[in-house]
């Protein structure tokens, strides 16, 4: 099984697919209203930990940060959540890669520029046949597809993808190499 994580403090998108890209789990981890700070991090930690221990996940892809957004304190808080998610994956022995937002957009839309949240949702439906109405879950679905395809490359299996998807995979291979031991952060 392959996991895609679109990390957000307000609602993390989570999708798990199997080898034939059938969705086994799609969820949005949404803390209760008013849940902030350490309480929110603990809430997200506990839910993700349960998901990781309840599923036989072999590989994961997390959406990496968009560094140029200038969110200041929000970026720091999101970094705390990203660190927790990475640590949970590490302790569950689930290798992961980070795909930056432009790679996620390119993988589904063909270009990393100008792809709006609505366009990603539309292209997930058009290209993959999955009707997903939430942008965080749609992003997580694309990330799960990237995880599956990258894992296939890692295992030296042929991957049938479009040219622009292959370009994303090639960039990730260049970044991470094909050493599975190097993929844990």
Q: Does the pLDDT value for residue 185 go beyond 60?
A: no
Find the domain containing 50 and state its range. 2-183
In sequence order, which residues have a C-beta less than 8 Å from that of residue 19 and are 6 or more positions away?
Answer: 2, 148
Order of strands across the sheet with 12-17? 23-29, 12-17, 2-6, 59-63, 96-99
- Whether the per-residue pLDDT at 162 is higher than 60: the answer is yes
Residue 70 has pLDDT above 70, yes or no: no
In this predicted model, what pLDDT tens digit does every residue of 98-124 receive, in sequence order?
Answer: 999 999 999 999 987 888 999 999 999
Please tell me which residue, 183 or 150, carries the higher pLDDT value: 150
pLDDT of residue 177: 77
77-100: per-residue pLDDT in tens? 788 999 999 999 999 999 999 999
What's residue 143's pLDDT?
A: 98
Any idea what the CATH number is for the domain that residue 158 is in?
3.30.420.10
How many domains does the chain divide into? 1
The 10 Å Cβ neighbour count of residue 93 is 10
């Amino acid at each position: 099984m392959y996991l895609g994580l679109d990390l957000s403090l307000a609602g993390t998108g989570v999708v798990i697919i199997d080898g034939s890209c059938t969705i086994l789990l799609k969820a949005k981890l949404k803390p209760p209203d008013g849940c902030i700070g350490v309480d929110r991090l603990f809430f997200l930690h506990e839910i993700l930990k349960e998901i990781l221990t309840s599923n036989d996940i072999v590989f994961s892809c997390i959406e990496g940060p968009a560094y140029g957004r200038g969110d200041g304190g929000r970026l720091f808080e999101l970094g705390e959540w990203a660190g927790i998610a990475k640590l949970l994956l590490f302790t569950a022995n689930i290798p992961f890669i980070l795909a930056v937002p432009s790679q996620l957009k390119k993988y589904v839309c063909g270009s990393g520029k100008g792809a709006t949240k609505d366009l990603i949702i539309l292209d997930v439906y058009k290209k993959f046949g999955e009707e997903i109405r939430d942008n965080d879950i749609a992003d997580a679905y694309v990330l799960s597809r990237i995880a599956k395809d990258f894992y296939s490359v890692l295992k030296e299996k042929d991957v049938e993808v479009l040219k622009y998807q292959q370009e994303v995979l090639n960039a990730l291979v260049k970044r991470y190499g094909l050493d599975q031991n190097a993929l844990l952060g």
